[in-house]
Structure 1
Amino acid sequence: MPYYFAYGSNMNPARVAARIGCTRRVLPGVLHDHVLRFDKASKVPGIAHANVSASAGERVEGALFELEHPGQIRDMDPFEGYPHEYDRHRLPVATREGTIESWVYIAAPGTTAGALRPAREYLVHLLAGEPFLTPDYHARLAGVEAVAGLDEATLAALGLSRHTPR
């Protein structure tokens, strides 16, 4: 079966279920030689989405979803902005069961910028991935400076809602 590695807001299993339906299971995963960045420019100026980039010796922790059927990755594409905002790559993700080739979305060239911060509501989805993260990694995420107090229209433009995980 295919696997999807989530390191951003899709670490929240409720968000994934709302977007693509049930998955077989979710387990902790690590993408080695990559680093997590909040540099993917969103539709709202100054607001970031998560991204990973190659960086020797670094690691990105996340949730590895075993999909029920191969079409679920295509179901996720619109939520990830594939192919214009993010590219989809097959990369090795380390798990307690060994290394598993998985789909990973990485920001498309020309879609990143500096001095961006995630929305607080976005960061909450990352923090919901706590069962799949080490305590140190989760604490690091909890310490990320986020933008609070966005109105409902701005949240909707970001694909977020205070009322639904989707």
Structure 2
Amino acid sequence: MPYYFAYGSNMNPTRVAARIGRTRRALAGVLHDHVLCFDKASRVAGIAHANVAASAGDRVEGALFELEHPGQIRDMDPFEGYPEEYDRHRLPVATCEGAIEAWVYIAAPGMTAGALRPAREYLEHLLAGEPFLTPDYHARLAEVDAVTGLDEPTLAALGLSRHTPR
């Protein structure tokens, strides 16, 4: 079965289930030689989504979902903005079971910018991935400077809601 590696808001299993349905399982995974960035420009000025960039010696922790069927990755594409905003790559993700090849979304060329911050509601989805993260990594995520006080229409433009995990 195919695998999908989530390092951003989809580390929240409830969000994944609301978007693509049930998965076979989820386990902790590490994408080596990459670094987590909040540099993917969103549809709202100044607000970021998560991204990963190649960076020797660094690591990105996240949730590795074993999909129930191959079509689920296509079901995730609209939520990830594929192919306009993110590209989909097959990369090895380290797990307790060894390396597993998985789909990883990485910001498309021209879709990143500096001086961006995630919305607090977005960051909360990352923090919900705590079962898949080391305590140190989770603590570093909790310290990320996030934008607070966004209204519901702005959250909706970001694909977020205070009322639903989707």
**TM-score class, shorter:** over 0.9
Aligned match of 1:8:
8
> Which stretches in structure 1 are left out of the alignment for 5+ residues?
none
TM-score w.r.t. structure 1 length?
1.00
1:89 has 2:80 as partner = no
Write out per-residue CA displacement over residues 68-108 of structure 1, whole angstroms, 9 at most, x where no aligned residue: 00000000000000000000000000000000000000000
Aligned match of 1:41:
41
| Number of aligned positions between the proteins | 166
Give me the whole-angstrom Cα distance separating, in 1, the residues matched to 2:69 and 2:23: 8
Aligned match of 1:142:
142
Three-state SS of the structure 1 residue aligned to 2:84 is coil
Q: Percent sequence identity over matched residues?
A: 89
Give me the whole-angstrom Cα distance separating, in 1, the residues matched to 2:116 and 2:79: 20
For the aligned residue pairs, the C-alpha RMSD in angstroms reads: 0.1
Three-state SS of the structure 2 residue aligned to 1:39 is strand
Aligned match of 2:68:
68
> Which stretches in structure 2 are left out of the alignment for 5+ residues?
none
Aligned match of 1:113:
113
Give me the whole-angstrom Cα distance separating, in 1, the residues matched to 2:145 and 2:104: 24
Give me the whole-angstrom Cα distance separating, in 2, the residues matched to 1:91 and 1:84: 20
Aligned match of 1:164:
164
Q: Which consecutive segments of 4 or more residues in structure 1 shift more than 6 A?
A: none
